[in-house]
A and B are shown apart, each in its own frame.
Chain A
Amino acid sequence: MSKINPDDIEVILATDCGSTTTKAILIEKIDGHYRQTYRGEAPTTVEEPAADVTVGVTNAVSEVAELAGRKLLDENDQILRPSNGKQGCDIYISTSSAGGGLQMLVAGVVREMTAASAKRAALGAGAIVMDTISSNDKRKPYEQIQRIRELRPDMILLSGGTDGGTVKHVVQLAELIAPAKPQPRFGDKYRMPIIYAGNIEAWEPVKETFDDDVELSQVENVRPQLDNENLGPARDEIHELFLEHVMAHAPGYDKLISWTDAPIMPTPGAVGNILQTIAERDGINAVGVDIGGATTDVFSVFDGVFNRTVSANLGMSYSISNVCAEATMLNILRWVHVDMQERELRNRVKNKMIRPTTIPQTLEALIFEQAVAREALRLAYIQHKEFATTLKGVQQQRTVGDLFTQDSGGQSIVNNMKLDLLVASGGVLSHAPRMHQTAAMLIDAFEPEGFTTLAKDSIFMMPHLGVLAQVHPQAALEVFERDCLIYLGTCVAIAGQPKPGRVAFRYKITGDLSDEGEMYAGELKLLSLSGDQRATVEIEPARGLDCGAGKGRPISREVRGGEVGLILDARGRELAVGGEKGADRQTVTQWVNSLHLYED
């Protein structure tokens, strides 16, 4: 890989090899700014008959080349570099989640402490964590061994103990993993990579425990002290081993690795990367979600702390049946404002599961699918909130004043009131026929509070930009701002439970939009405010309700518009829909109408 001066980069080609399709985009410097110009798509070719990922990449790239009228491939189907007029590109980068992505097993001493840190490191690197083994996971050692044997991870991350801390527990974990002789997913000849990121003093005994059947490497402890986390080295090692071992054994990847100018990243790792970059630059708190067919990824950056979770069995096609099983039909149907037959729906759900590529043809099918999406997102976000916490096991500093407010460690850092930007991506969200539907799904599932800007990823470009950010951050950020995000608008929502029939808040809007009025409990209102417009919204909440300044306190903020506009939400938080006390079908219908969800 040659080092190129970032200023000389004019044309960037990026691909993302997903499990079903390979997407290629072209980024060009136009008038001094980087813009995404063309995109192409082709089926991924990891499996038989092609069994070579580069075939799919070449197909996708040739589609881009055709559209752009730019020659990107030479006669041997090699990517032409550097660019020269209407030929070639300056750098080529790629991400991959083909073959189910990177699947890992993590182990740590205490589930909530070092094991959680190890899990965070693995998730942050873009892996799917198949299981977490810990001393206190309530399983007997033989059950843990049985589990390790059953799973066939690509890699294992072993952590445990602070530096100078426990040796016994860490060796115990090693003693569980070593005899279980875990088998890697791909390749018979390939030795299971195990990363050790635990107590530095336990390294020697751990090394002795494993034999030559595994590829053992050591990095810095993920939790050198309980009071701080050090995930970077473990993440980097995961990326490296991902390339060296996992990728190298997947069909065609050796070739792809040699083509790229930056290391191939697992797709979710790249998405996390760009979100982090953006949040850091603008100093905002952001949540991103990518709902796929099989899994839902949630990324969050709160006060500079990045977290990612994968809900492995929450998705819109392969896993749709599982969403229905976990959320229950009753919870899904509460979002539906028209009559539907449950028995019929159950069969439809299963049919979608066995034929995952179909799309809803009727409005009824769309309404149902979006109701399922709300529940899938809601469940995924709950899992995310439970995982994204402050560190546990940290000594607290108290004064006598804290007598009645003794907060413990391990509180969720996800705070919807502090959330500034919510980004949606994934089929059901980005391909919804109306952007209003995307906005409504986001608001219903994530329940943002206060002022939250909503956006969607136009063509699922975030993975490409995530890798690009490592090579050329400026280009990545420019494209992200200009082409990647489509702003839907801003949601202004009140937290707390407004009293039925009473005014929840008063609002006064000035700027590009002038309006004034009252919002009654349970009301939703959509005001049009286009993408280039800005308005100042003053909110005066009723007593006991909060819009960001504290209970009952007025607040004023500038908001941005978008394709949907400004949404005022007086339904209260948590949203109560369905059941005995929640909103009934009539109310849900009102919401649907006030947001103009299913009409032109």
Chain B
Amino acid sequence: MKQFPYFIYVLVCVLVFGLFAQSAKTVQAEKQPTQTDEQPVQSEGQAAQAKLVVKDHPFDGGDKLDISIELPQQVYQSLTAEKPGGTIMLMQSEEEGGLYRELAKYPPNDGSWKLNEKAHIVSIEVSGLNTKSEYFYRLYWKPHEGEKQIIAETSGPVRTKREWFLGDKWKLAGVGILICGSVIFFIEVAKRGWKLKVRRIAGLEAVDEAVGRATEMGRSVLFVPGIQDMNDIQTIAGLNILSHVAQTAAEYDAQVEVPTSRALVMTAARETLQGSFLTAGRPEAYNPDLAYYVTDEQFGYVAYVSGMMVREKPAACFYLGAFFAESLILAETGNSVGAIQVAGTAQPSQLPFFVAACDYTLIGEELFAASAYLSGSPEELGSLKGQDVGKLIVAVWLLGGCLIETLTVLSIL
């Protein structure tokens, strides 16, 4: 089987994403003029002849309108002069001829106004609207204090429109497609027989060895699925590995014991055990008492498990799930009774204890990758690989972004 050229894949993805992002920008830029083709809701102003164009904001949730005002040259100039010679006020009402209230004024520009000097257009995005109301706009020109005149007004009601997609999430969609696409892509790649390399996880390779040791020594295999309930993903990952451990134990005809600290976990563990014994072709060896509930109390549970370890001296201990303060107590007890220990948790604070006291440790992500690693099925391997590559792409982008940002700040670019 051939090794898949990841490097090339990642490179292509980064480039494609780059092009995508680039083109998304230009598309936005290009689309602006075409949108004026839409029937603009506009009204001719009276004296000063400003042109008020109110358009629905594209790709929004129906809460924004884009308003652009083409001002007469003199108005524009007096507005943008160093000492502004007056202000414009944008007013909004929700009923025809109703009460208009001020929405925005210029100057000063609080950042919401955009100016187009050539065409003498000022534009603003109005938000916080809803699709059910009708809106009317008016633009006042206030050359001096106390004097104001309407220079533009909408001729009819304007409504906002809710779109299917939110425009500001396009980039996220791109990232999503890239990661999901990578997953699908790698599943397909795996199905076609390419070899997907997964780093050797010593802890999982050692399952056979640990169970074998228990078999030879005539002792039991202890499996602790953490102290959290089934809602913790680590517990689920732990039980995934339990199915492998139990299957091996069933094949070797070794005794497995699963004390749990949550009732639900016990039920799940029993199901897992039963399935594994069945797969191993030894359904008669399954006994529901192999998995049992101890107590919800963290240290009550630990006291029980440690006590049992000292009494029964299991030859293989597996700690796979969510662990807290008890990690070192368990691991040390296991070490002192001479067991081969395999631990795995995604709690970063507990990892050092496990590494020091156990024979093999699954670090963070490895715990979740276990089921793909163990089954070796193209679907699972492909999705593992796809996620990894997705993360890699994001990491490359992050680094690239930071670099560019830094260079820009340092004025190198």
Name the distance in Å between B43's Cβ and chain A's nearest Cβ. Answer: 70
Within 8 A of A (CB), among B349-375: 352, 355-356, 358-361, 363
Q: Which of B138-146, B204-212, B229-237 contacts A (4 or more CB under 8 A)?
A: B204-212
Are B252 and A136 neighbours in the complex by a CB distance under 8 Å?
yes
In the assembled complex, B346 has its CB within 8 A of some CB on chain A: no
Residues of B contacting A398 in the complex (Cβ-Cβ under 8 angstroms): 355-356, 358-359
Convert B232-275 into 0s and 1s, putting 1 for each residue whose CB lies closer than 8 angstroms to a CB of A. 00000000000000000001110000000000000000000000
Shortest Cβ gap from A534 to chain B (Å):
43
- Indicate which residue in A162, A399, A409 contacts B216 across the interface (CB closer than 8 Å): A162
Which chain A residues (145-196) contact chain B, with CB distance < 8 Å?
A: 160-162, 164-169, 172
Chain A residue at smallest Cβ distance from B356: A400
- B218 sits at the interface (CB 8 A): yes
Q: Which residues of A contact B16 (CB under 8 A)?
A: none
The answer to whether B356 and A393 touch across the interface, beta carbons within 8 angstroms, is: no
Task: Tell whether A408 pairs with B216 under 8 Å between CB atoms, given A395-B340, A398-B356, A398-B359.
Answer: no
CB contact between B212 and one of A138, A168, A393 (< 8 Å): that residue: A393
Q: When chains A and B are docked, how far (Å) is the Cα of A377 from the Cα of B258? A: 48
- A403 near B216 with CB under 8 A, answer no
Task: Report the stretch among A49-57, A106-114, A431-439, A488-496 that lies at the interface.
Answer: A106-114
B51 located at the interface, meaning its Cβ lies under 8 Å from any Cβ of chain A in the complex: no
Partner of A408, one of B206, B213, B355, B356: B206
Are A400's CB and B355's CB within 8 A? yes
**Inter-chain contact B339/A395, CB cutoff 8 Å:** yes
Asked if A113 and B206 sit within 8 Å, CB to CB, the answer is no
CA distance A164 to B216 in the complex (A): 10
Report the nearest A residue to B357, measured CB to CB: A398
Tell me the chain B residues, 211-226 only, with Cβ under 8 Å from chain A.
Answer: 212-213, 215-219
Asked if B363 and A403 make an inter-chain contact with CB atoms under 8 angstroms apart, the answer reads yes
Q: Is A553 an interface residue (CB 8 A)?
A: no
For residue A532, CB closer than 8 A to chain B, the reply is no
Contact A165 B216 (CB under 8 A): yes
A407 at the interface (CB under 8 A from B): yes
Minimal Cβ-Cβ distance residue in A for B362: A406
Residue in B338, B340, B355 whose beta carbon sits within 8 Å of that of A403 in the complex: B355
CA distance A110 to B315 in the complex (A): 14
A495 nearest CB across to chain B (Å)? 20
With A398-B355, A406-B361 as known contacts, state yes or no: A112 contacts B208, CB within 8 Å: yes
Chain A positions within 8 Å of B358 at CB level: 398
Pick from B217, B340, B356 the residue with the most CB of A within 10 Å. B217
Interface pair B340/A393, CB less than 8 Å apart: yes
B45 within 8 A of A: no
Q: Does B203 contact A (CB under 8 A)?
A: yes
Residues of A within 8 A of B217 (CB): 161-162, 164-166, 226
Chain A residues in 8 Å Cβ range of B218: 161, 164-169, 199
Taking a contact as CB atoms under 8 Å apart, the answer to whether A136 and B212 are in contact is yes
Of residues A136, A161, A406, which shows the largest number of chain B Cβ atoms within 10 Å of its Cβ?
A: A406
A393-B216 in contact given A398-B355, A408-B360 (Cβ < 8 Å): yes
Does A135 lie within 8 Å of B215, measured CB to CB? yes
Q: Say yes or no for B177: interface residue by CB 8 A criterion.
A: no
Residues in A neighbouring B339, C-beta threshold 8 A:
395
Among residues of B, the one whose C-beta sits closest to the C-beta of A161 is B216
SS class of chain B's interface: helix, strand, loop or mixed? helix
Instruction: Encode A386-419 as 1/0 by CB contact (under 8 A) with B.
Output: 0000001101101110110011111000000000
Name the distance in Å between A276's Cβ and chain B's nearest Cβ. Answer: 27
B407 within 8 A of A: no
Which residues 427-456 in A have Cβ within 8 Å of B in the complex? none
A112/B212 in contact, CB under 8 A? yes
The bracket for how many chain A residues form the interface is 35 or more
* Minimal Cβ-Cβ distance residue in B for A111: B212
Question: Is A352 in the interface zone, CB < 8 Å from B?
Answer: no
B202 contacts partner chain A, Cβ-Cβ < 8 Å:
yes
- Looking at the assembled complex, report how far the CB atom of B310 sits from the nearest CB atom of chain A, in whole angstroms: 17
For B359, list chain A residues within 8 Å (CB).
Answer: 395-396, 398, 406
Question: What 1/0 flags go to B170-206 for Cβ under 8 Å of A?
Answer: 0000000000000000000000000000000011011
Q: How far is the CB of B213 from chain A (nearest CB, A)?
A: 4
Q: Is residue A223 within 8 Å, beta carbon to beta carbon, of the partner chain? A: yes
Contact of A408 with B209 at beta-carbon distance under 8 Å, contacts A113-B216, A169-B215 already known: yes
Alpha-carbon distance A226/B218, docked complex (angstroms) = 12
Minimal Cβ-Cβ distance residue in A for B363: A403
Contact present for B360 and A226 (CB under 8 Å): no
Task: Determine if B251 and A113 form an interchain contact, defined as CB atoms under 8 angstroms apart.
Answer: no
Distance, CA A399 to CA B355, complexed state (A): 7
Contact B205 A408 (CB under 8 A): yes
User: Which chain B residues (317-364) contact chain A, with CB distance < 8 Å?
Assistant: 338-340, 352, 355-356, 358-361, 363
Which A residues are CB-close (under 8 A) to B205?
408
Residues of chain B lying within 8 A (CB to CB) of residue A410: 209
User: CB-CB < 8 A to B215: which residues of A?
Assistant: 109-110, 135-136, 166, 169
Shortest CB-to-CB span from B411 to chain A, Å, is 38
Q: Which residues of B contact A402 (CB under 8 A)?
A: 355
* C-alpha gap A156/B253 in the complex (Å): 23
Smallest Cβ-Cβ distance to B217: which chain A residue = A165
Beta-carbon contact of B360 and A393 below 8 Å: no
**Minimum Cβ distance to chain A for residue B345 (Å):** 14
Given contact pairs A138-B251, A408-B206, A109 touches B355 in the complex (Cβ within 8 A): no
Query: Across the interface, which residues of A come within 8 angstroms of B253, CB to CB?
Result: 135, 168-169, 172
In the bound complex, what is the Cα–Cα distance between A392 and B213 (angstroms)?
Answer: 8
Cα A166 to Cα B216 in complex, Å, equals 6
- A460-496 residues at the B interface, CB under 8 angstroms: none
The residue of chain A having its C-beta at the shortest distance from the C-beta of B204 within the complex is: A408
> Which residues from chain A contact B251 at a C-beta distance below 8 Å?
136, 138
Query: How many angstroms from the CA of A139 to the CA of B104 in the assembled complex?
Result: 83
For B335, give the chain A residue with the smallest CB separation. A395
- Using A136-B252, A406-B361, A408-B202 as known contacts, say yes or no to A110 and B216 having CB atoms under 8 A apart: yes
Q: Within the assembled complex, what's the spacing in Å between the Cα atoms of A138 and B212? A: 14
A226-B213, A406-B361 are known contacts; what are 14 more A-B pairs with Cβ within 8 Å? Answer: A109-B215, A112-B208, A114-B216, A136-B252, A138-B251, A164-B217, A166-B216, A169-B216, A169-B218, A398-B356, A398-B358, A399-B355, A400-B352, A400-B356
Which A-B residue pairs are the 3 nearest by beta carbons?
A166-B218, A406-B202, A110-B212
Could you give 14 example pairs across A and B, Cβ below 8 Å? A109-B216, A110-B252, A136-B252, A138-B251, A162-B216, A166-B215, A169-B253, A393-B210, A396-B359, A398-B358, A403-B355, A406-B202, A406-B203, A410-B209
Chain B residues with a Cβ under 8 A of chain A:
202-203, 205-206, 208-210, 212-213, 215-219, 251-253, 281, 338-340, 352, 355-356, 358-361, 363
Q: Which residues of A contact B (CB under 8 A)?
A: 109-110, 112-114, 135-136, 138, 140, 160-162, 164-169, 172, 199, 223, 226, 392-393, 395-396, 398-400, 402-403, 406-410
